[in-house]
Amino acid sequence: MSALDDLFAGVNEQGRGALIGYLPAGYPTVDGSIELLTAMVEAGCDLVEVGVPYSDPVLDGPTIQAAADEALRAGFRLRDVFRTVEAVSAAGGRAVVMTYFNPVLRYGVDAFSRDLAAAGGLGLITPDLIPDEAELWLEASTAHGLDRTFLVAPSSSEERIASTVAATSGFVYATAVMGVTGARDVVGVGAQTLVSRVRAHTSLPVGVGLGVRSGEQAAQVAGFADAVIVGSAFVTAAATGVDAVRALTAELAEGVRRTPAPIG
């Protein structure tokens, strides 16, 4: 059992959804992001996704693009992600890294995996890497005991869902809507349909991301998914400060524990 398997088993026993919060490393600075991520852990995130700021984030909306730009301008270097993960782990948190694949490729897929595992990281989420192209990562993740989260989308065929979840470990990332990251008023009924389609192919936990920003939405999503993934809303809160991040975490953590109301 991986650490993520333990996490989801524990959350499941409590009869609630898991809360997964995303923040880019290095935003607004490396030390600043460590403080924010640690606050997210303390205030109730079951898992944090440490993002790698990247020059060409094609799956990200304006909020995360702007944060990545700011982190890069502030001098973020790829190796800073390991220090960030290490700090989160030392604070008792659990962390995976979410990254576009080119920085990993450039660092060396095996070297990146080795250094991430050494820092206490649990796995990678790879938004622009499909299992078809992931040979190096499949080998390195096995060698270093890391979990592999691949994404599925409403447009994924049954065959692609099946092959994607077969290559996945830890949890499956279901993108709630067709589009880029960013807080939305309505997460969409499509997410529930997608989760059902994924469950037909796997018993792995399924997390839903893209668009969640409130306790209300978190409660709805937790009604049908194993984890609620929140990104842009945390980045927006981070721009205000650590108190806003704590408050948002608390609201979302309460949401994933609420008895769900049906999606209307």
CB of 111 to other proteins, least distance (A): 12
Q: CB of residue 107 vs other proteins: minimum separation in angstroms?
A: 7
Q: Which residues are catalytic?
A: 49, 60
Nearer to other proteins, 41 or 194 (CB): 194
User: What does the alpha-carbon distance between residue 260 and residue 216 come to, in Å, rounded to a whole number?
Assistant: 9
Beta bridge partners of 19: 228
Looking at the Cβ atoms of 89 and 163, the one nearer to other proteins is 163
CB of 18 to other proteins, least distance (A): 22
For residues 198 and 161, is the Cβ–Cβ distance under 8 A? yes
Burial of 133 (0-12, 13-18, 19+ CB in 10 A): exposed
CB of 96 to other proteins, least distance (A): 17
Q: What are phi and psi of 234, to 5 degrees?
A: -70, -40
Of the candidates 255, 199, 206, 178, which has an alpha carbon nearest to the alpha carbon of residue 16? 255
81, 121 Cβ separation under 8 angstroms: no
Cis peptide before 28 (omega within 30 of 0): yes
| Calpha distance 57→54 (Å, rounded) | 6
CB closer to other proteins, 104 vs 208: 104
At 76, list the tokens.
Answer: 């973020």
Nearer residue to other proteins within complex by CB, 150 or 171: 150
Q: Which residues contact other proteins (rule: CB under 8 A)?
A: 54-59, 61-62, 65, 69, 72, 77-78, 100-107, 127-130, 132-133, 150-157, 160, 164, 175, 178-180
